[in-house]
Chain A
Amino acid sequence: MAMIEMKDVSKWYGPVQVLKDCSAAVNKGEVVVVCGPSGSGKSTLIKTVNGLEPFQRGDVLVNGISVGDPKTNLTRLRAQIGMVFQHFELFPHMSVVDNISLGQVRVLGRSRDEATARSMKLLERVGLTQHAAKYPGQLSGGQQQRVAIARALAMDPLAMLFDEPTSALDPEMINEVLDVMTELAREGMTMMVVTHEMGFASRVAHRVIFMDQGQIVEDDKKEDFFRTPRSERAQQFLSKILHH
């Protein structure tokens, strides 16, 4: 069953078309990596999944619910999709545990105690229990991103979206974040990950989507993508990134 289904999604900024008839599906429990050159529309594409980026044509279905339908309660839909950003976007004025509890209390209506208990469990899972009372500004980048993942998981999401979760990190912190994501994938989370970490893609992903100039140029099984990408642009991209 497709957890996320994109059907001919097109988006324009004024006269410029930034998404061109993008179609793809992510099944339940599947991990799909999205890669491509800068400006190719990767961020825009995954943000259409939770309606952060509106689109003009086509549709996206999440668990069967249409994102494009004006009657859809987008707020409720978003609560069911976790999102992790390149720059973490933790709320700097809240302690780590409050960051993770905010959505649980305000959106899911959990009691404060219930939320805190859940937050502490998640902090344990990402290895940050002893940092619960700290503020985001007191944590390293890698630690902040792990808190951001915990914050998204606290909503018990149907699927998780990652937009370049490691590209703002110092190299020595990348693995601690990728490890948490790998673990999550192993547990069967449905994930859409924009990343240039090809090591992660080859280890964890089921499929790889390659985008260029707003188009999905390639949508392959991981093995096929790394062995024999069909398009020339994907080959160029891969050789550039792998020899980097």
Chain B
Amino acid sequence: MKYNWNWGIFWQLSPDGRGTYLDTLIAGLGWTLATALSAWVIALILGIIVGVVRTTPVRWLRLLGDAWVEVFRNVPLLVQMFLWFFVFPELLPASVGVWLKQLPRSAFYTAVLCLGLYTSARVAEQTRAGIQSLARGQRMAGIALGLTLPQTYRFVLLPMALRIVMPPLTSEFLNVIKNSAVALTIGLVELTASARSIQEFSFQVFEAFTAATLIYMFLNLIVVAGMRWLEKRVAIPGLIGPGQAMPQAGH
């Protein structure tokens, strides 16, 4: 195979008229970050709420939470993306649907919503598992003390459960970044789409995707390092965990 390597490509002007190909890549990275981070915030908030709801004694709330997780986790992300972007506006009253479709950056908002909901189901599953991994006695101890059920969650159950599920939440965070690439299917020019556009205009396919790959790996490293730092920061003295000291019986 004959291939003309040209790493200088990134400093050449791109035909989209917005600067060099490097600028194209950076703009794509910006959209990837904006999409992934916004979706992650939604996923954390909704996921923790739904995860909590699935462990409460209230039956209909639990069923609602279970349904949420089943729906958002089991329908492929790509299908969900299409449903939100193409089908959902049609189900609304015509004027609202049109307004939605003409909203500037509608692809971005749709991607954030879709990815946030999809990931919230996964966060909810982790949160539920975390709460249920705590001894039933912890809940009883909180209630017996006279705390209300919400107080028991807030002060007793969640602080421990969230610490326990921090490693799986780290991988969900990484997944959000990777999954944000699906948004290119509804027209969001995020990092992967930028790499593809560079390839289409310049035919430097290897350089474009090598650069994108390196950026994704770099984001990965930052997230992992950040979460490690956070895990250490909230580590509990005397409990065994990653990077934590052995317990010592005090005397």
Contact = CB atoms under 8 A, between A and B. Distances in A.
A102 interface: yes
Interface residues of B, number: 27
7 contacts: A75-B148, A78-B146, A79-B146, A103-B146, A134-B237, A137-B239, A139-B250
A107 B146 contact: yes
B247 A138 contact: yes
Interface of B: 135, 137-138, 140-148, 151, 155-156, 159-160, 163, 236-239, 247-251
A138 B238 CA distance: 5
A89 B237 contact: no
B50 to A, nearest CB: 23
A159 to B, nearest CB: 12
B137 A52 contact: no
A90 B145 CA distance: 11
Contacts of A75: 146-148
Nearest to B162: A93
A200 interface: no
Interface in A28-77: 50, 52, 75-76
A91 B147 contact: no
A165 interface: no
Interface in A70-99: 75-76, 78-81, 83, 85, 87, 89-93
A131 interface: yes
B135 A87 contact: yes
B151 A137 contact: no
B238 A85 contact: no
Contacts of B237: 134-135, 137-138
B143 A52 contact: yes
Contacts, number: 87
Most chain A beta carbons < 10 A, residue from B144, B151, B155 = B144
Contacts of B148: 75
A135 B239 contact: yes
Nearest to A161: B144
Contacts of B141: 83, 85, 89-91
A201 to B, nearest CB: 23
Nearest to A148: B141
A87 B135 CA distance: 10
A52 B238 contact: no
Given A135-B238, A143-B250, A91 B146 contact: no
A92 B155 contact: no
Interface in A113-154: 131, 134-140, 143, 151-152
A208 interface: no
Given A87-B137, A93-B163, A131-B250, A136 B146 contact: no
Given A89-B135, A91-B155, A93-B236, 8 more contacts: A52-B144, A75-B148, A83-B141, A107-B147, A134-B237, A134-B250, A139-B250, A155-B145
A162 to B, nearest CB: 12
Contacts of A91: 138, 141-142, 155-156, 160
B146 A138 contact: no
A244 interface: no
A102 B155 contact: yes
Nearest to B251: A140
Contacts of B144: 50, 52, 78, 81, 83
A106 interface: yes
Contacts of B251: 140
